[in-house]
Amino acid sequence: MERSAIAPMPSLEIKRYTGIMDWLTTVDHKKIGLMYFWFTVTMGIVGGALAGLIRFQLATPGAVIETLQAAHLAGGPEPFSLFSNGGGIFGDQDRFNQMVTMHASVMIFFTIIPGFIAFMNYIVPLMVGARDMAFPKMNAFGFWLLIPSAMLMLSSFFVQGGAAASGWTTYPPLSILGHGTKPGQDMWVMGVHLAGVSSILAAINFIVTIASLKVMKWRDLPLFAWATLFVSIMALIATPVLAAAVTMVLLDRNFNTTFTIASQGGDPILYQHIFWFYSHPAVYIMILPGFGGISHVIAAFSRKRVFGYLGMVLATGSITALGFVVWAHHMFVVGMPTWMQYYFQVASLAIGVPTGIKVFSWLATMWGGTIRMTVSMMFACGFLCLFVLGGFGGLILALTAVDYTLNNTYFVVGHFHMVLVGGSVMLLFSMTYFWWPKMSGHFLSERLGKWVFWLMFIGVFIAFFAMHISGANGMARRIAVYYSDFRFSNYLTTVGYLMTFTSACLFFGDLIYSYRRPKITVDDPWQINDIQQSFEWATSCPPPVYNFAKVPPIPILEQIPSHDHKH
Amino acid sequence: MSEQLTTDVEHHEDPMSHVPPGSIWPLLATASLTIVPFGVVSVLGAFNATHWAIVGPFVFPAVGKAALILGGLGFVFFLMCWCNQIIREKTISHDVVAQQKDLQLFILLFLCGELMAFGAVFGYFYHQRLYVEGFGPAEGMEFGGPTVAYATFILLFSSVTCEFAHHALQSYKVGLAKALFSATILLGIAFLGFQGYEWGILIQHGFIPVGGSLTDSAVASFASCFYVGTGFHGLHVAIGLVMLFMVLMRLEFGHFRGRRHFAVLAASWYWHFVDIVWVLLFITVYVVR
């Protein structure tokens, strides 16, 4: 509250750039947020295309083992396929593994995490009434670092031996193979280093921005800002550990250490523990910001205050805390002691409790509200359906005994795609439809948006529900071929993929076309200002470079009564 | 609450006056950092001549080596330019004291991240210590002699001089502060010297994980942990030295005369952090058996 004595900058000394140089030198959180956004959209298409290659391989005749065997017995030509050791048109099955690895890496490191950072960057300073992030230049640096990171990972496809093929989890000894001759894995590791530095810097920046630049009290902080805060704490604590884990792989590959080489005293399972100590929190890094954003969407389009504000904050906090103590449920089958399996099973199931609190609070927010079914709201509802479904798959997998059977099958793949695509990606879409008018000054099409939604909702459901079926029947993940029993469910998944990808393309077109629609002239195009508790609707669309002529926009602050803490 | 804010915030006619100027340095720093990983792969000799279309001249390890040096130096140079711009910016978005608090929070959070990275190394160390038979230096090997004791004592002492330097500056004794900071830097360099000497002797005796005289895999694992733990720490000592050196230079230029001491505080906290980590590392490597 002591933000007094704002000294004016001597305007004569300031050199302002224009045009392309303005974007290259920008330290404005809104421009950086938009750059994050477009980077994310581009990388989403790349990652989606990689997924497409995986899906098309699994729909070709050459992916069915019986067909392959029949062809071999008859001495006929190899059946058509994209990735096959007998001559696929895109290469051998190692290429398929590269596709799987890079699809995951691109989607995690360059699409979902930066996708949320785009909104955190653009919206959070506006929401808390700040003029910019606490460290604007560091913010720019954090964004630029993603570009060499993506360059490293994607260019590694074209070097000797191709890209990293050991899965995004980089488990040794697979990831140690080919050291000195196949640089793809080394490039992947250094790409992760750069993305990690970017993530840590962004996290520090968000924590300081929220803690220090907010104009409201903690108890009035919008839920999206709370979620940003918790996610940043997670990213700050977990990411250095990931850096340490992948550095071990890099050192073992190139500098003669033995951290992960079992024959020389190292411990590959310990690597897995260290890796998942980051990567389980990373799962929440990929969903919690969306949890925060969706609270605003549902409240806005139900014309009600979000139900159970304090419960929401505490639930987010407990997911953050629990997220750090459940990592080993990713590795039940490595042969850990029974007490550890019990502990990690119970702790993993416990995460269902705060998540349930959040889901019920969203439903209670809608209950009795005046619901407006905008596309943003449709995506929010679609998220609730698919996320809860995917979450139940997670409860099943958290049971150690069941996990022994389902481990490394498509059931796991189906589960995490249902919560990542049905969850995080739906949330990103919902948030885009909600905040794009603020970010660009133009609406996205509500009519086309309904097509985007239904195609995506049905496509995601078909694709990933079918994966659960394949997995429950025993289809192994990361394999380019399968027995004919799995043919139908794989075709279904490919059909679902096509629908989802079509929907994403429609969305992309609409995004570009939106700039040709009339400019929004009001501050609050959704007319929701009276029920939102944040400041981003109190400035023009898009906001001026200084966000608010006065800090804070006091008239809005007075419109918002403080929360009723009795309920 | 609102009334108080309205009266506190001083309003200017031109809101653009609060908008900081753009900066090219983050982009240039990133650009020079970009070529470093390509240089690393190139130096390892892992690109071959058919990669022209993708990585261009990086197919030659010599180019990779040059890129490594140029990229690294360029990164440091552009970071310096960046710091310079921040130092030169006369005004900031809000008042100086608040900005100082933000920066302090920044360095604290940054150190938390660093601590987690070291935590992974320590975690690995103790896991191996608990579960691997014979994890430690080879039998009958000269390990952790008086050199380490000297080095530890030197680093601990440098933390004390650093603290006194900070106090001297706070009570405006600039000459004393300069002398004490110089002493800290010299002690830090001495520590790195001792560390290098220690490494040299161990390597001479073939104490390296792969390709040395070690036949026991548990000892090889210990050697990996030893070099990476102390090497990572040494890297931090080097970074701390750069920070202290910048503080010394800025004192020479007459900075830090007023209430703004952030760079001093940051360097000092960082140095204490490095010191604490060394104590933990010392106990982990040399004491716990």
pLDDT > 80? residue A14: no
A535-554 residues touching B, CB cutoff 8 A: 544-546, 548-552, 554
Query: ipTM of this predicted complex?
Result: 0.90
For chain A, what is the domain count?
A: 1
Angle between helix A93-105 and A184-213 (nearest 10): 10
Q: Which residues of B touch A183 (CB under 8 A)?
A: 41, 44, 46-47
Which residue matches tokens 């080993």? A328
The domain over range B97-288 is classified in CATH as 3.40.50.300: no
CB contact under 8 A, B227 and A257: yes
Sign of the torsion formed by the C-alpha atoms of A160, A165, A168 and A172: negative
Measured between CA atoms, the residue of chain A closest to residue B104 is: A208
The CA distance from B114 to the nearest CA of chain A, in Å, is 7
Look at residue A50 and tell me if it is in a domain.
yes
pLDDT reported for residue B9: 45
Measured between CA atoms, the residue of chain A closest to residue B112 is: A237
- Round to the nearest angstrom and report the end-to-end CA distance of chain B: 59
> pLDDT by residue (tens digit) across A267-287?
999 999 999 999 999 999 999
Q: How confident is the model at residue A536 (pLDDT cuts 50, 70, 90)?
A: confident
Between CA A463 and CA B165 the distance in angstroms is 64
> pLDDT by residue (tens digit) across B238-289?
999 999 998 999 888 877 776 677 888 999 999 999 999 999 999 999 888 7
Between CA B154 and CA A567 the distance in angstroms is 59
B9, B114, B216 ranked by CB distance to A3: nearest: B9
CB contact under 8 A, A10 and B91: yes
pLDDT reported for residue B5: 42
Q: Which residues of B touch A267 (CB under 8 A)?
A: 127-128, 131-132, 221
Q: Which residues of B touch A241 (CB under 8 A)?
A: 116-117, 119-120
Angle between helix B146-170 and B217-252 (nearest 10): 30
Between CA B236 and CA B249 the distance in angstroms is 20
> Does residue A476 sit in helix, strand or coil?
strand
pLDDT reported for residue B173: 86
Residue A397 contacts residue A415 (beta carbons within 8 Å):
yes
Mean pLDDT lowest for which of A3-17, A499-513, B97-111, B139-153? A3-17
Q: How confident is the model at residue B8 (pLDDT cuts 50, 70, 90)?
A: very low
Mean pLDDT lowest for which of A6-10, A181-185, A522-526? A6-10
B10, B29, B228 ranked by CB distance to A251: nearest: B228
Look at residue A14 and tell me if it is in a domain.
no
Average pLDDT over residues B6-34: 75
Q: Which residues of B touch A264 (CB under 8 A)?
A: 209-210, 217, 220-221
Which residue stretches of A128-183 are H helix? Answer: 136-155
pLDDT > 90? residue A558: no
Query: Which is more confident, A181 or A121?
Result: A121
Other CB atoms within 10 Å distance of the CB of residue A508: 16
Q: How confident is the model at residue A427 (pLDDT cuts 50, 70, 90)?
A: very high
Average pLDDT over residues A514-530: 88
Q: Specify the pTM.
A: 0.92
CB contact under 8 A, A187 and B16: no
- Look at residues A290, A252, A265 and name the one whose alpha carbon lies nearest to residue A176: A252
pLDDT reported for residue A467: 95
Look at residue A6 and tell me if it is in a domain.
no
The CA distance from B161 to the nearest CA of chain A, in Å, is 30
Between CA B264 and CA B266 the distance in angstroms is 5
pLDDT reported for residue B62: 85
pLDDT > 60? residue B222: yes
Q: How far is CA A337 from the centre of its chain?
A: 32
Look at residue A16 and tell me if it is in a domain.
no
- Look at residues A478, A494, A484 and name the one whose alpha carbon lies nearest to residue A413: A478
Tokens of A181: 């001759």
Domain with A543, as residue range(s), is 25-559
Which residue matches tokens 């890129």? B67
Look at residue A322 and tell me if it is in a domain.
yes
pLDDT reported for residue A551: 64
Mean pLDDT lowest for which of A426-435, B65-74, B86-95, B119-128? B86-95
pLDDT reported for residue B12: 53
pLDDT reported for residue A553: 56
Q: What is the CATH number of the domain that holds A517?
A: 1.20.210.10
A224-263 residues touching B, CB cutoff 8 A: 236-241, 243-245, 248, 251, 254, 256-259, 263
Look at residue A2 and tell me if it is in a domain.
no
B4, B40, B127 ranked by CB distance to A270: nearest: B127
> pLDDT by residue (tens digit) across A109-144?
999 999 999 999 999 999 988 888 989 999 999 999
pLDDT reported for residue B58: 80
The CA distance from B210 to the nearest CA of chain A, in Å, is 5
Give residue limits of the domains in chain B. 19-92, 97-288
Look at residue A75 and tell me if it is in a domain.
yes
User: C-alpha distances in angstroms, A257 versus A246, A250, B131, B220?
Assistant: 13, 9, 19, 8
* Residue A336 sits at the chain B interface (C-beta within 8 Å): no
* Residue A18 sits at the chain B interface (C-beta within 8 Å): no
Between CA A546 and CA B93 the distance in angstroms is 11
Between CA B98 and CA A107 the distance in angstroms is 38
Between CA A451 and CA A472 the distance in angstroms is 31
CB contact under 8 A, A240 and B5: no
Q: How confident is the model at residue B18 (pLDDT cuts 50, 70, 90)?
A: low
The CA distance from B213 to the nearest CA of chain A, in Å, is 13
B174-193 residues touching A, CB cutoff 8 A: none
Mean pLDDT lowest for which of A71-80, A440-449, A489-498? A71-80
CB contact under 8 A, B117 and A243: yes
